[in-house]
Amino acid sequence: MTKGAAVLAFDMGASSGRALVGRLAESEGGRRVLEVAEVHRFPNHAIQVGKHLHWDTLRLLHEMKKSIRFAFQQGYEPATFGIDTWGVDFGLLDANGELLGNPYHYRDPHTDGLIEEVSARIGQRELFEQSGLQFMPFNTLYQLYAMVKAASPKLEVAKTLLLTPDLLAYLLTGVKSCEFTMATTTQLFHPVNRSWNAELMKRLGIPPHLFLEPVQPGTIIGPLTPEVREELGVPALQAVAVGTHDTESAIAAVPAGDEPFAFLVCGTWSLLGTEMTGPLLTPETMELEFSNEGGVGGTYQLLKNIMGLWLLQECKREWDEQGKEIGFPELVRLAEQAEPFRSLVHPDDPRFFSPGGMADKIRSFCAETSQPIPHSEGEIARCILESLALRYRQALEQAEKLTDRAYGGLHMVGGGIQNELLCRLTANAIGKPVWAGPVEASAIGNMLMQLVALGECKDLREARELVAASFPVDVYEPDRDERWAKAYETFLGFGRV
Catalytic site positions: 246
Amino acid at 495: G
For residue 167, the surrounding DSSP H or E stretch is helix 164-173
For residue 377, the surrounding DSSP H or E stretch is helix 377-403
Q: Are 52 and 108 in contact (CB under 8 A)?
A: yes
Q: Are 114 and 137 in contact (CB under 8 A)?
A: yes
CA distance 336 to 323: 23
- How many CB atoms are closer than 10 A to CB 55? 25
Nearest Cα residue to 138 out of 179, 102, 86, 173:
86
Name the 3-class secondary structure at 475.
Answer: strand
For β-strands 262-266 and 410-413, DSSP reports them as: parallel
Amino acid at 133: L
Name the 3-class secondary structure at 174.
Answer: coil
Environment class of 5 (CB within 10 Å of its CB; exposed 0-12, middle 13-18, buried 19+): middle
Torsions phi, psi for 157 (to 5 deg) = -105, -10
- How many CB atoms are closer than 10 A to CB 480? 7
Half-sphere exposure of residue 356: CA atoms within 13 angstroms, side-chain side = 5
Name the 3-class secondary structure at 151.
Answer: coil
CA distance 183 to 25: 34
DSSP 265-303: EESSSEEEEEEESS----HHHHHTT-EEEE-STT-EEEE
Longest distance between any two alpha carbons in the chain, whole Å: 64
Amino acid at 382: R
